[in-house]
Structure 1
């Protein structure tokens, strides 16, 4: 494309530029299951009348000026170029879930095919035989919270079509600081923030430059983002997670999730390669953390209109969440207690804000290439990725067609294992994307996570009865 010639062109944000670099070329895949058969023409009409079709990011080309700097340029959107009907089953003999996961696994290695200068960076795949709508959106257009809000703005609640879907954590826990007159508690809190920020920021810098996890059978590394992928789904009931949460004082759903991750990891490693991993080996996860002021995003319209506290785009930091490998510790709830202890310390720090700011500054002053290499090093030196997006509490419909599930994954990272959980109407589905030459059996890994939660629930139920 030529250089920008008018004032209508808008420069990309630092985050948007980062996700266009080859090392961090990320595409988000959202699979929406539908209860009724898909109607191609009706879905095209729905998309054309949705906020997505009028949002500036989704009707703009990505162009570069004479010095190579990226800009958004408004263009006409041809809906037929963005909607891809896929007729017939993906593969014979597979269930709908397995077929959709196979399609997404193959698609996740095809992210360069989405890049081009001829149309905006998104499309929609309609898997007709499996009643699944797949939204493929480049990460430069926005993060998970932004895209979730855009999608829900086009949906209606089953129980109340006039009301917006309710999203956000099951219970909003406010940060507790010192009460009135107890000034010393505020001082202790500030000192804690300073101390933990210093410790974790130093650790973050070391992990991004030199320090790396010990190699294990689930480790990735440089170049692994290009390897073929497989996808599996771990399914949880939020009610089960709440039972576990209630058995560990002041725990959150995220604490329970990370406890499940650590317990499931250890189950998988003990089964697949017993005695291959040293006791106490550190496995570090990279977790995406929303930095918006209102993580529940009840006012979806404000986000779409650019409310300063809810601005569109990519506004998230990352946390390094380490776990130490241990063989069975007896009490399944111990995984949640350890996860809570570690995450509580992380919450007292400004690590996520630091990571966001350092990426913003690096992209602005050193260039997107330097920033992408820094991020790439972090992923090469750690073991896995994890994110959790809270979806609607209620069942919803997309233009009258009831939604049966909402699942999300992203294109490949140097990690051999990435996990993304989305909750919806009392359920939570976690997509497990793996480099299949390193982790050939993601369905078994998914079962390890599911079994870990059931064991924790049984232990929690027993503890609550005592």
Structure 2
């Protein structure tokens, strides 16, 4: 299939160039588990007719000119080179096996697929002699792994692309329904007085103060300040260490019960509270009585900075002058969580998380981090921007993201999907976490350096138990 011809190459965006540097060469992995084995011909046919292969990013080669500047150059797509079929089963270590030893379960299939992706995240960069995406189909496990280079776009762009290719299982002609964006109501001007004006001025003052404080912290965290060393700390070179991928599973209804226990709380607040409590549980297990109460661990979170939040209409993303815009349109914020010994009120973690997130949302930290990165790329080049980004990751403890998925079950190429999970290739941190909700469930993929986190299944259980404990406390309240 050929893309529309163009007379000139298109230069990469600053963010795209950053993700091509050796230390930040990031690939997004989307694991799609079906309810039945995939039909290869149907999958290839769906890809050929999809909007994806009509998008310039998915039918362009990465090339470098004589000055080593990167550009996108349109090319023809050979679907057979992008669809990789693996017919043999995999064991839990990710090795190919001829015949399974005894009966297999869904948990075995999930573990095998997770380990396969964990191995890809360290040892298998995408080939530069074709457009930077692949689809790996694990026939024996009813699973497909969509690999997309981060230079092509961020999670919002790529999930919006995926949703445009899927259909609801209860209506084969309908696109997936997504969680609606709830915007705050803007009240009319009636009754405004000096108290209203004072409130607005106080709101603006707080935004300025929070932005200044978080910007200074961001710079210090990049250059000078690092988290205290613990048994879960990564660092320089850890991105090359062997990985293991596990899944923590939550029910959105449970998260909503917890959310209602504290007024004006969001699912993201609950997620951060679960991470804080879960990491404290895990550290209690690994280093009992060895850590001081209140020890800070800093997370790096990606925030969509498009004018329209949430997943986007694909037609809007493709428009060059759209506020939504395709590509990497996200900023970075720092999210501190704190170690506390067990025995405290489980909802305290949620209250601390909410207070932190509320301040972050009231600042321009995410937008400023995007502008700072863009400025460094423009003035100093990709090498120095990569160095600063890598240093920030080395000075923090974990990375976390959350993407909202469809409300109901969906199908792709006629195959109903039982789950959708996302993660990225390895970073210098020992823990990266990516949560995606799907049809009333939320699954968090936890990619760990297994020499630092030798028991990742227990870490996942710590997060699951943290949510259940918070739910019990919420129901008792």
Give the TM-score of the pair, scaled to structure 1: 0.95
**1:83 positional shift:** 0.5
Answer yes or no: is 1:436 the counterpart of 2:465: no
Q: Number of residue pairs matched?
A: 455
Equivalents in 1 of 2:344, 2:424: separation in Å?
Answer: 35
* 1:26–1:111 contact (8 Å) kept in structure 2: no
* 1:156–1:164 contact (8 Å) kept in structure 2: yes
User: Relative to 1, partners in 2 of residues 1:178 and 1:411: Cα closer, same or farther, differing over 3 Å?
Assistant: farther
Answer yes or no: is 1:370 the counterpart of 2:380: no
| Corresponding position of 1:3 | none
**1:185 positional shift:** 1.1
* 1:27–1:111 contact (8 Å) kept in structure 2: no
The gaps in structure 2 that reach 5 residues or longer are 1-5, 92-99
**1:259 positional shift:** 0.3
* 2:157–2:312 contact (8 Å) kept in structure 1: no
Answer yes or no: is 1:259 the counterpart of 2:270: no
Equivalents in 1 of 2:167, 2:319: separation in Å?
Answer: 20
Q: Over residues 251-299 of structure 1, what are the superposed CA-to-partner deviations in whole Å (9 max), with x where a residue is unaligned?
A: 0000000000000000111012212322221100000101112223353
| Corresponding position of 2:109 | 96
Q: Structure 1 residue aligned with 2:120, among 107, 116, 134?
A: 107
| Corresponding position of 1:53 | 53
**1:324 positional shift:** 1.7
Equivalents in 1 of 2:311, 2:338: separation in Å?
Answer: 34
**1:172 positional shift:** 1.4
* 2:156–2:312 contact (8 Å) kept in structure 1: no
**1:187 positional shift:** 0.6
Partner-residue secondary structure (3-state), 1:308: coil
Equivalents in 2 of 1:177, 1:330: separation in Å?
Answer: 40
Alignment of 1:330-409 (within 5 A): 330-409=344-423
Answer yes or no: is 1:79 the counterpart of 2:86: no
The gaps in structure 1 that reach 5 residues or longer are 1-5
Partner-residue secondary structure (3-state), 2:436: strand
* 1:178–1:186 contact (8 Å) kept in structure 2: no
* 1:150–1:304 contact (8 Å) kept in structure 2: no
Alignment of 1:41-440 (within 5 A): 41-91=41-91, 92=100, 95-112=108-125, 114-116=126-128, 118-168=129-179, 172-174=182-184, 180-181=192-193, 182-297=196-311, 299-306=313-320, 308-440=322-454
Give the TM-score of the pair, scaled to structure 2: 0.93
Partner-residue secondary structure (3-state), 1:407: strand
Partner-residue secondary structure (3-state), 1:30: strand
Partner-residue secondary structure (3-state), 2:341: coil
Partner-residue secondary structure (3-state), 2:202: helix
User: Relative to 1, partners in 2 of residues 1:347 and 1:178: Cα closer, same or farther, differing over 3 Å?
Assistant: farther
Equivalents in 1 of 2:210, 2:216: separation in Å?
Answer: 10
Q: Over residues 333-358 of structure 1, what are the superposed CA-to-partner deviations in whole Å (9 max), with x where a residue is unaligned?
A: 11100100011111111000011111
**1:42 positional shift:** 1.5
* 2:432–2:448 contact (8 Å) kept in structure 1: yes
* 1:168–1:295 contact (8 Å) kept in structure 2: no
* 1:111–1:411 contact (8 Å) kept in structure 2: no
Partner-residue secondary structure (3-state), 1:375: helix
Q: Which moved further from structure 2: 92-101 or 288-297?
A: 92-101
Partner-residue secondary structure (3-state), 1:310: coil
**1:7 positional shift:** 4.1
**1:330 positional shift:** 2.2
Q: Over residues 33-64 of structure 1, what are the superposed CA-to-partner deviations in whole Å (9 max), with x where a residue is unaligned?
A: 11111111211111111111111001000000
* 1:31–1:407 contact (8 Å) kept in structure 2: yes
* 2:259–2:270 contact (8 Å) kept in structure 1: yes
- Name the Cα RMSD after superposition: 1.6
**1:300 positional shift:** 3.0
